[in-house]
Chain A
Amino acid sequence: MSCLRCVHFKPNSILPYVGYCEVKGRVESAPEHLTPCGDFKEASIDELKAVLRKDGWVYCLTCASTITSEEELLEHYRKHVVVPGALVDESVVEEAPSGD
């Protein structure tokens, strides 16, 4: 599922293998791209650090957790799937029951 390793892909937090591809400008589904497509660019540690500096956070898909520092990024990058961000779905606003 190469989209999950690509720097252009930001998964939707609800169905993590589906997300937005910035190059294609549309929703993509990772299982449909078992092998990398022509625009694939690996989300290397340097790419992710750059995103972290720009946006303030990146996302560890394995832990379903937000990363806000370089130390954390290095820790997770080694064994987990770290993506350059995650999208909060609109239904969260519409459907979230009050939780407190």
Chain B
Amino acid sequence: MKELGVLLGGPQGSGIETSMWILGRILVSKGFGVIADREYFSNITGRHSYIQMLVSSVKLPRSLRYPVEILASMDAETVFTHFAELSEGGILIYDVNISSKRIEEIPSMEDATRERIARVLAEKGVKPSVESVVDYLERDRRVLPLGIDFSSLLKALSEQYRIDSRAVSKFLSGVIVSSVTVVLGLDEEIVAAGFRQQFRERKELVEQNIMLYKLVRSALSKHYGVVRLEEPGLATEKVMVVTGNDVVAIGKIVAGVRYQSYYPITPAADESFLLEKYDNILGESGEVIGSVMVMQTEDEIAAVNSAIGAALTGVRSSTTTSGPGFDLMVEGLSWAGMNEVPIVITYYQRGGPSTGQPTRGSQSDLLNAIFAGHGEFARVVLSSGDHLDAFYDTVEAFNIAEKYQVPVIHLLDKFLANTVTVMTIPDVERVRIERGVLTRGGPGYKRFSLESLISPRAFIGGKDTVMWYTGDEHDEYGHIVEDPEVRARMYSKRIEKLSLILRDLPVDRKLRLHGPGSPDYLIIGWGSVKGVALDAVEYFSEKGLKMSYLDLKLLWPFPSEDFLRMTNGIPDSNILAVEHSYGVNIAELVAMNTGRRIVKRVSKYTGRPITLDELIHGLEEIVSGKKERVVLSRGA
């Protein structure tokens, strides 16, 4: 087979993450493409978490799909929660010691979930115990159940090694990694290399895990390599394995960000934690070539406002947050717009409203990012479809902010932030740092000179230069002004920058068409829809239906002219919008700016990502005329 779906499940903080990293890196080092979505509760430990992966021999995967071919469970909750997502002929790996566990005996499972699953089991005539589910899968779905005795493995291991009672997770991840790699036919050498890479500093852990591999291989010897993935054919020598948070942090360092402020919030905080690790950046010979100051502030209000303060002194500065935090930053955003301050707010959307679903993704804040903030002023909102785009877009965000002296919102989401992906190494030498029109200032300097839309910018601290900034309407020097004529000129100056941005930016920074220019159907979307939409487009194209995907990158100012030009000739009824939200608000944005009315919409708002199987099904229903609006909901 060319690709394989794997789902790893267990209680949060049990070694699932570690399993994913080890397995992922082993597969990548062999040349496979891997993508992994991490789903977890708003909880530290105890609740269920799972990782859904797609492994490919032929490409770098960009979406996930159900069903999965391998379900590896650390506990009973995983078996109950995901058994229905295992394909016919698939493989279930589970711990025989929990065979008798019944669904009522799992306190960490939510009642609504328990009732739903119990109902499904009852309908199928299956008793609500792990062994009954396993029997059902074996009998009715031709699933190969690989029951492993976790307890006797532990006993064998502890006869040789001293196991730390607070590190049972390392044993669990070892069992999961070993059983999946054995089933895939990956030999000891390559798996051992994976353990060495993960547990670099802890030699005993490496040895223990290698022993586990041997034990598991022996226990599952009949099934070694029972799943045959084609030899990988990817041509790359080296790749990057990163999450979205990682790639944005890396992009910021390359972009020259030297001040980042933040308040801890999911799913943004990890980006700042990574930046903190690179507080001193070392050059070729180990000398420090720069440092990133990362400030954890007392709240988001202090985060945005201190970032603005830093920008006034000429520093590339940013803050990173999610919905609830962004809402607190709105007054600061308005001040930045009024004072033409270049800052970047990285906004990772999560389920809302209010506290919402802190650990689940969404694209529900499109209109919030574009319209929040009283008064009319220029701001730019950018979005990125995947990890590699996010790297380049991060640098671009700062270039736009400084060239046009506007606040920029880089609108991303939890799906991108937390998904681990394999991507080609960015071409750093093609990246440009553009700082806009700068001046030394000097006596009589006018920060807000009306001689041009973009006033030459001096920094506070510049020699012999004094300037003023105020949230009030101001004159060219930055002093408060209420004169109606000056007011009108300053107000419009700020807003007219938007048309400059639309005129200057190259088309492919605004929107990108993937596929034929005159398709039968055009799918439009933005952000994390890109990967799954491209895969769907490819699927339909192979079936003879011409489809294209229009990836909207510049959300504000909306590129109306370019949009109309690219969709000219395609009737409204052949355009579909896809978004992880209730309203599919991108369609509203398009209508507002262009007059084109997109009625056909695919939406998902359970907090889980759209998978390829359900998107294909949903698009089929729309294309066949059965429905105009489809709501997706697959995945626990």
Task: Give residues in A with beta carbon < 8 Å to B.
Answer: 10, 12-15, 17-20, 26-32, 62-65, 87-92, 94-100
Contact = CB atoms under 8 A, between A and B. Distances in A.
Centre residue among A29, A92, A94, A97 by max chain B CB count within 10 A: A97
Given A27-B158, A98-B269, A18 B168 contact: yes
Contacts of B42: 99-100
A26 B163 CA distance: 7
A65 B359 CA distance: 23
Contact of B40 (A64, A88, A92, A97): A97
A2 to B, nearest CB: 14
Contacts of A14: 10-11, 13-15, 45, 74, 168-169, 172
Given A98-B264, A99-B41, A18 B154 contact: yes
Q: Is chain A's binding surface mostly helix, strand, loop or mixed?
A: mixed
28 contacts: A10-B165, A14-B15, A14-B45, A14-B169, A15-B14, A15-B75, A15-B150, A17-B151, A26-B162, A26-B165, A27-B165, A30-B151, A31-B151, A31-B152, A32-B152, A32-B155, A91-B17, A91-B170, A92-B12, A94-B17, A95-B12, A96-B45, A97-B12, A97-B270, A98-B265, A99-B42, A99-B266, A100-B42
B165 A88 contact: no
Given A26-B162, A98-B267, A63 B107 contact: yes
A28 to B, nearest CB: 8
Given A14-B11, A99-B359, 11 more contacts: A10-B165, A15-B14, A15-B74, A20-B165, A27-B154, A32-B155, A89-B166, A92-B13, A95-B15, A95-B18, A96-B12
A95 B46 contact: no
Given A27-B154, A92-B44, A17 B172 contact: no
B46 A64 contact: yes
A65 B107 contact: yes
Contacts of A20: 165
B503 to A, nearest CB: 41
Task: List the 6 closest A-B pairs by CB distance, nearest first.
Answer: A91-B169, A20-B165, A92-B13, A31-B151, A95-B17, A64-B107
A32 B418 CA distance: 39
Interface residues of B, number: 51
Nearest to B150: A15
B151 A29 contact: yes
A91 B359 contact: no
Contacts of B46: 13, 64
Contacts of B75: 15
Contacts of B155: 29, 32
B13 A95 contact: yes
Contacts of B168: 12, 14-15, 18, 27, 89
Contacts of B158: 26-29
A17 B166 CA distance: 13
Contact of B167 (A91, A95, A99): A91
A64 B269 CA distance: 29
Interface in B89-126: 97, 105, 107-108
B44 A96 contact: yes
B530 to A, nearest CB: 23
Contacts of A29: 151-152, 154-155, 158
Interface string B159-177: 0001111111110110000
B16 A95 contact: yes
A97 B418 CA distance: 9
B549 to A, nearest CB: 30
B326 to A, nearest CB: 15
Contacts of B14: 14-15, 89, 91, 95
A94 to B, nearest CB: 8
A32 B155 CA distance: 8
Interface in B27-52: 38, 40-46, 49
Contact of B169 (A31, A90, A100): A90
Centre residue among B11, B151, B167, B359 by max chain A CB count within 10 A: B151
Contacts of B267: 97-98
B361 interface: no
Given A14-B13, A29-B154, A64-B108, A99 B40 contact: yes
Contacts of B172: 14-15
A31 B170 CA distance: 20
Contacts of A64: 46, 107-108
Given A32-B155, A91-B14, A99 B165 contact: no
A90 B12 CA distance: 12
A88 B45 contact: yes
Contacts of B24: none
B151 A32 contact: yes
A91 B154 contact: no
Centre residue among A62, A91, A100 by max chain B CB count within 10 A: A91
Contacts of A18: 151, 154, 168
A81 B12 CA distance: 22
Contacts of A90: 164, 166-167, 169
